[in-house]
Chain A
């Protein structure tokens, strides 16, 4: 089976940096995705990692360690609009994407 774990909620201050962790247990790993979802809206794609290391994209970066079954999403220079849920999803060969429970991030002024 597959298991994905994320913290349920996080709070951070505008302008700060926050790291959202995701741990997973799976077989036949074929990529890890991060999505952002604002309340009442559909998720939007943020990042994709299939090899170990850090992928940087503007204020957002995502890291993957396949041997540890671990990823994190790093958000820099936090803005109020970054308040949202962040979903970690794992893709296996020949199977569907499996989403984690999501982390609700609240950015405070």
Chain B
């Protein structure tokens, strides 16, 4: 199947700093990528939809100024958590949508565990 690379796998940072997470589709072009947040033992919560060349669409309750998303190319989307605080500690996962003759499929990155001290 298609491969989506997410980096870094884990990051520890001090409160008030910013953290950038990258999501790359390695063997296909993805006009649309998604960013999720997941708390322990809970399902994925969609944060925003990232569209190449345009502004991201944020879900209700997600602060767009805090979670900056950039989708500058068909293979790369980035999520920047600005001025991170301990409550932002979570598992962040990206996915890329692949369009094919069998319909659309999502392929996920490996996730980023963020810990804010």
Contact = CB atoms under 8 A, between A and B. Distances in A.
Q: Do A and B bind each other?
A: yes
Interface string B77-117: 00000000000000101000000001111111111010000
Given A43-B44, A48-B105, A104-B41, A96 B110 contact: no
B111 A91 contact: no
Contacts, number: 51
A102 B39 CA distance: 13
A31 B104 contact: yes
Given A33-B106, A48-B103, A41 B46 contact: no
Contacts of A89: 106
Contacts of B75: none
Given A42-B110, A45-B107, A99-B44, 8 more contacts: A42-B109, A85-B43, A87-B43, A87-B44, A96-B49, A97-B34, A98-B46, A99-B43
A102 B43 contact: yes
Contact of A45 (B43, B91, B106, B111): B106
Contacts of A74: none
A96 B104 contact: no
Contacts of A96: 34, 46, 49
Interface residues of A, number: 24
A85 B44 CA distance: 11
Contacts of B1: 45
Contacts of B104: 30-31, 91
A82 B68 CA distance: 36
A43 B108 contact: yes
Contacts of B46: 96-99
Given A42-B93, A96-B34, A100-B43, A50 B103 contact: yes
B2 to A, nearest CB: 9
A98 to B, nearest CB: 8
